[in-house]
Amino acid sequence: MGLAPSPVAWDLVSLALSAVAADLTVRRDTSVDGWTREIELEVAVSDPSQWDGLSAQTASTLAFLTTDRWSVTFVGGADLPSAPKKTRVSTADAAVLLSGGLDSLVGVIDLHRSGSNIFAVSHTVRGDQANQVQFAKKVSAVDHLRVNHNVSTPWAASEKSQRARSLLFLAFAVLAATTTQRYADGEVVPVYICENGFIAINPALTAARIGSLSTRTAHPHYLGELQGILDALGLRVELRNPYAEKTKGQMILDCADQELLAELAIESTSCGRYQRYGLEHCGRCVPCSVRRAAFLAAGFRDTTSYRYHDLGAYSGAALEDLHAIARARIQVQDHGLDRWIGNALISPHIQNTEALRAMLERALDELGGLLNHYGVA
């Protein structure tokens, strides 16, 4: 692309790639409790002096993200990629994660309508690449970085939970942000992570779902911890989630270009099992449920192809996730919202607790609308 990122941003990518490799290699089923792993990670960087004092914070950030125990050390010896023979700077004023999902679609539409010049950053996976390219073109992104980590573990069977990938996604976005003219001019460049507040907080629906089913990719505590690392490294990048206090339904209703959203929304991907179902939405997992509930709440016509389309026609294990939603609503009804939320909003990085609490209540109401619509109890 002819772009020359900051050397320390390359080192951040080195950390993220190393974390992904470790995450893939160390199996959860061999740990004492079948989930929590103890991982010692040594990361080669080009300038270890810049990482002095960051080992503990990096380990803590990774621990929150993957729910493991990490020990991280930084050593020298990493070579930086060769600079392009012909270099340029990007005219973008912000970088934004573009996954191909509905939330990131709303995000880039809103940024485009606000007049922002977008550097779209996509972590390519099978089934989403065409959407990512189409969405970037529709919002006139001035640059579009599409990259996959391609980490493989030939010496071991891969762990499938892959919680560390979001660090790499953000590292790529930081890399992009440092190639902009705005960054070269000494300004702070925003990196947008567009995620509805319910999925960002992702409170465990039931006590049994605290581990494997509660990801933390856009949780404000994780973003706050990572922001602290970026600041300590002197990277002039600010992580932002402008939708932290909105439900998915509100994101749809408030989108700045309803016509463009109506054209593209159905093409977006939300399913947590999309590849498993042959690039089709299952219609019954939590992300699918949040998507379907949002369309209903916003009065938006949903023509998505769902494997489990008429949820009222199924029962038992087929609706495990929806039954978990129903149990969460019963717990709130019987014991109050705060009992269900638990410690999900406890963090020094959260200053808007009441707004997030209200958002979670609205999100449960949206999901309740989906259950009522299909008669799922």
Residues 98 and 227 in one domain: yes
Average pLDDT over every residue of 359-375 = 96
- What was the pLDDT predicted at 213? 46
Planar angle of CA 274, 280, 283, nearest 5 degrees: 80
Domain count along the chain: 3
Q: Determine which of 4-8, 57-61, 275-279, 327-331 has the lowest per-residue pLDDT on average.
A: 275-279
User: Residue 122: pLDDT above 90?
Assistant: yes
Span 297-313, average pLDDT: 94
Q: For the residues 28-47, what does the mean pLDDT come to? A: 93
What percentage of the chain carries pLDDT values higher than 90? Answer: 82
Name which of 93-107, 154-168, 276-290, 342-356 the model is least confident about. 154-168
Residues 55 and 130 in one domain: no
Residue 272 has what pLDDT? 84
**Secondary structure E strands in the chain:** 38-44, 69-75, 94-97, 118-123, 143-147, 189-192, 237-240
Could you tell me which residues come within 8 angstroms of residue 215 by beta carbon, excluding any fewer than 6 positions away? 163, 166, 202
In this structure, the answer to whether residues 63 and 133 fall within a common structural domain is no
pTM of the model: 0.94
Same domain? For 215 and 112 the reply is: yes
Contact 3, 88 (CB under 8 A): yes
H or E stretch at 340 = helix 337-341
Asked which of 171, 206, 240 is the last residue of a domain, the reply is 240
**Mean confidence (pLDDT) of the chain:** 93
Same domain for 127 and 209? yes
Using CA atoms, how far apart are residues 369 and 14, in angstroms rounded to an integer? Answer: 44
Is 60 exceeded by the pLDDT of residue 227? yes
Given a cut of 70, is residue 369 above it in pLDDT?
yes
Is the pLDDT reported for residue 113 higher than 60? yes
CATH code of the domain covering residue 129: 3.40.50.620
Q: Does residue 330 lie within any of the structural domains?
A: yes
Do the beta carbons of residue 102 and residue 132 sit within 8 Å?
A: no
Q: What is the pLDDT of residue 211?
A: 46
Predicted confidence at residue 3, as pLDDT, reads 96
| 122 and 56 within one domain | no
Calculate mean pLDDT across residues 273-284: 90
What average pLDDT score do residues 251-264 get? 97
Is position 37 within any domain? yes
Please determine, for residue 214, whether its predicted confidence score (pLDDT) is greater than 70: no
Q: How does residue 160 score in pLDDT terms, banded at 50, 70 and 90? A: confident
Split at pLDDT 50, 70, 90, the class of 159 is confident
Q: What confidence score (pLDDT) does residue 124 get?
A: 87
pLDDT on residue 275: 84
Residue 155 has pLDDT above 90, yes or no: no
- Do residue 68 and residue 135 come from a single domain? no
Query: Domain range holding 350?
Result: 266-374
pLDDT at 209 over 70: no
pLDDT value at position 71? 97
One domain, residues 236 and 98 = yes
